[in-house]
Chains A and B, each alone.
Chain A
Amino acid sequence: MAYVSGLRCRECGREYPAEPLNVCDFCFGPLEVVYDYEAIRRVASRERIQRGPLTMWRYEDLLPVDAERAINLHTGFTPLVKATNLGRLLGLNELYIKNDAVNPSYSFKDRVVSIAATKAREFGFDTLACASTGNLAGSVAAHAAKAGMKSFIFIPHDLEKGKVLGAAIYGATVVAVKGSYDDVNRLCSELADTYHWAFVNINLRPYYAEGSKTLGYEVVEQLGWRVPDHCIVPAASGSLFTKVWKGINEFVSLGLVQATGTTHMHATQAEGCSPIVTAYQAGWTHVRPVRPKTIAKSLAIGNPADGFYALKTIQATSGSAVSVPEEEVVEGIKLLAEYEGIFGETAGGVVVSALRRMAQQGAIGKDEVTVAFITGNGLKTQEAVESVVQPITVEPTVASFQAAVNGR
Chain B
Amino acid sequence: MPSRRIKLTFPARLIKDPVIWQLGQKFPVVTNIRRADVREDYGWVVLELTGEEPEIERGLEWVRSMGVRVDPVSGDVVEG
A132 to B80, CA, bound (A): 5
Residue contact A136 to B71, C-beta cutoff 8 Å:
no
Residue contact A185 to B77, C-beta cutoff 8 Å:
yes
A347 to B72, CA, bound (A): 25
Enumerate chain B residues within 8 angstroms of A189, measured Cβ to Cβ: 72, 74, 77
A288 to B69, CA, bound (A): 10
Residue contact A23 to B73, C-beta cutoff 8 Å:
yes
Enumerate chain A residues within 8 angstroms of B73, measured Cβ to Cβ: 23, 28
Known A-B contacts A28-B34, A289-B71; the reply to A23 vs B5 at CB < 8 A is: yes
Known A-B contacts A27-B35, A288-B42, A289-B71; the reply to A301 vs B76 at CB < 8 A is: yes
Size of the A side of the interface (Cβ < 8 Å), in residues, is 49
Give, as a whole number of angstroms, the nearest-CB distance from B20 to chain A: 15
Give, as a whole number of angstroms, the nearest-CB distance from A228 to chain B: 25
Q: Which chain A residue shows the least CB distance to B4?
A: A190
Give, as a whole number of angstroms, the nearest-CB distance from B41 to chain A: 10
Residue contact A11 to B79, C-beta cutoff 8 Å:
no
Residue contact A301 to B79, C-beta cutoff 8 Å:
yes
Size of the B side of the interface (Cβ < 8 Å), in residues, is 21
Could you mark each residue 16-48 of chain B with 1 if its beta carbon is under 8 Å from any beta carbon of chain A, else 0?
A: 000000000000000000110100001010101
Known A-B contacts A28-B35, A289-B69; the reply to A132 vs B78 at CB < 8 A is: yes
Q: Which chain A residue shows the least CB distance to B35?
A: A27
Give, as a whole number of angstroms, the nearest-CB distance from A23 to chain B: 6
Give, as a whole number of angstroms, the nearest-CB distance from A397 to chain B: 47
Enumerate chain B residues within 8 angstroms of A190, measured Cβ to Cβ: 4
Which residues 49-80 of B sit at the A interface, judged by CB distance below 8 A? 69, 71-80
Give, as a whole number of angstroms, the nearest-CB distance from B26 to chain A: 21
**Chain-B contact segment, one of A47-55, A70-78, A302-310:** A302-310
Residue contact B74 to A22, C-beta cutoff 8 Å:
yes
Which residues 22-40 of A sit at the B interface, judged by CB distance below 8 A? 22-23, 26-30
Residue contact B76 to A303, C-beta cutoff 8 Å:
yes
Residue contact A131 to B75, C-beta cutoff 8 Å:
no
A236 to B59, CA, bound (A): 30
Given A288-B42, A306-B75, 9 new contacts (CB under 8 A): A28-B48, A185-B72, A188-B77, A190-B4, A201-B77, A202-B77, A289-B9, A301-B75, A303-B75
Across chains A and B, which 6 residue pairs bring their CB atoms closest together, nearest first?
Answer: A298-B80, A305-B75, A189-B72, A131-B78, A136-B79, A303-B76
- Which residues of A are at the interface with B, using a C-beta cutoff of 8 A? 11, 22-23, 26-30, 109, 130-136, 154, 156, 181-182, 184-186, 188-190, 199, 201-202, 205, 236-237, 285-286, 288-289, 297-307, 347, 376
Can you give 9 A-B contacts (C-beta < 8 A)?
Answer: A132-B79, A135-B79, A185-B72, A189-B74, A236-B80, A237-B75, A286-B37, A288-B42, A304-B76
